[in-house]
Amino acid sequence: MIDLPIIFTVLMGAAILAYVVLDGYDLGVGMLMPAASRDEQNRMVASIGPFWDANETWLVLGIGLLLVAFPLAHGEILGALYLPVAAMLVGLMVRGVAFEFRIKAEGWHRELWNWLFWAGSTLASLAQGFMLGRYITGFAPGFGYWLFALVVAGGLCGGYVLLGATWLVHRTDGPLQAKAVVWARWGLLWVALGIGLVSLGTPFASETVREKWFDFPRTLGLMVLPLGTLFMGAWVWFSLGRSDWKPFAGAVAIYVLAFLGLAYSLFPFVVMDRLTIWDAAAHPSALVFMLVGTAIVLPFIIGYTFYAYRVFRGKVTGGDPYL
């Protein structure tokens, strides 16, 4: 008998990771807008133009899988995160449409939409980080836990800036690329601080996490994750300015490692300390129907996503390649 909740946990985790990495770089590019000149802003937006829509679809898939596979957790989690979810949605909405509007606008309108693109990206990123912070601690009440969530919010923004900057290093050249190298360094320091604080804070914030990580000799094996993260951080730092693609690859690797650490901390809970994936799972009839569809369709999705990235490979040159 296959364990359906496990399969769906892996699928949902993969979708959320894909979302965080993919939309992360375009949110990061959005947050970096004010640091660039007008010409550069156009190139930055052009670099994410063909992709942002599909990137956001991974969020819908992640939330969709949560809703389908773990309906009990879906209501619990989204209910507890009511206002930050609303804030994130407003942010995503504003930036999504600002993206389209700014291409068509002229004069001060364009400035306004540029500003809204930045503001929406920042609001959505902060809200996502805040949600993550609340989620890790199982929505515990108390000032300290809210502060923890704020720190995570800041850390995730840094992470998105790192992804966005290294994406620009990969996709642009000339003075903009040189700027992006500097942005990436700042982003990396910011991430290091964020990951450090979260890694230290989480064991204090949650007993469950503490027991899982500080349990010799398992702790030694687990050290692969922090050490790997440290190594990848150094790799990003030293490849910046030397390679176009290594910094982005390194940043993605940092995300994967941090995500694995988080997944290990939480498993088997889908709501920390309260609901396990088996408690929250939907009826097998729903899961099997879903699994069949996913197994058939997901390879196609991955296939044509690769195709789209191949079509738009190479450096972004023009300011406005929209048709």
Partner 1 sequence: MEEALLLARVQFGLNIAFHILFPTITIGLAWLLVVFRVRYERTRDPAWLGTYKLWVKVFALTFAMGVVSGITMSFQFGTNWPGYMNKVGNVAGPLLAYEVLTAFFLEATFLGVMLFGMNRVSGRVHVASTIIVAAGTTLSAFWILALNSWMQTPTGHVIENGVLIAGSWLAVIFNPSFPYRLTHMLLASGITASFLVAGLSAWRLLKAPNDPSAAKTLRFGVHIAAVLVPLQIFVGDLHGLNTLKHQPAKVAALEALWKTERGAALTLFGIPNEKEKRTDYAVMIPKGAALILAHDADAELKGLDAFKDHPPVAPVFFAFRIMVGVGVLMLALSWVGSWVLRKKTPRWLLWCFAAFTFSGWVATLAGWMVTEIGRQPWLVQGILRTADAVGDASGAEIGASLTGYILTYAALLLSYMVVITHLSGKGAQ
Name the residues that contact partner 1, by CB under 8 A.
Answer: 49-51, 53-54, 56-57, 59-61, 63-65, 67-69, 71-72, 74-79, 81-83, 85-87, 89-90, 92-94, 96-97, 99-101, 104-105, 282-283, 285-286, 289-290, 293-294, 297-298, 301, 304-305, 308, 311-312, 321-323
Spatial separation of the C-alpha atoms in residues 282 and 70, rounded to whole Å: 6
Q: Which is nearer to partner 1, 214 or 289 (CB)?
A: 289
Spatial separation of the C-alpha atoms in residues 205 and 226, rounded to whole Å: 19
User: Which residues make Cβ contacts (< 8 Å) with residue 103, sequence separation at least 6?
Assistant: 45, 320, 322
Q: Which is nearer to partner 1, 104 or 218 (CB)?
A: 104
Closest approach, Cβ 269 to partner 1, in A, equals 18
Contact 272, 138 (CB under 8 A): yes
Q: In this structure, what token pair is assigned to residue 141?
A: 């009440």
Closest approach, Cβ 203 to partner 1, in A, equals 29
Q: Which is nearer to partner 1, 54 or 263 (CB)?
A: 54
Spatial separation of the C-alpha atoms in residues 101 and 115, rounded to whole Å: 12
Spatial separation of the C-alpha atoms in residues 292 and 123, rounded to whole Å: 37
Closest approach, Cβ 56 to partner 1, in A, equals 7
Q: Which is nearer to partner 1, 81 or 252 (CB)?
A: 81
Closest approach, Cβ 301 to partner 1, in A, equals 5
Question: How many helices and strands (H and E) does the chain possess?
Answer: 14, 2
Spatial separation of the C-alpha atoms in residues 26 and 49, rounded to whole Å: 9
Q: Which is nearer to partner 1, 92 or 151 (CB)?
A: 92
Closest approach, Cβ 149 to partner 1, in A, equals 17
Spatial separation of the C-alpha atoms in residues 35 and 122, rounded to whole Å: 14
Q: Which is nearer to partner 1, 242 or 310 (CB)?
A: 310
Closest approach, Cβ 199 to partner 1, in A, equals 29
| Residue 21 φ then ψ, to 5° | -70, -45
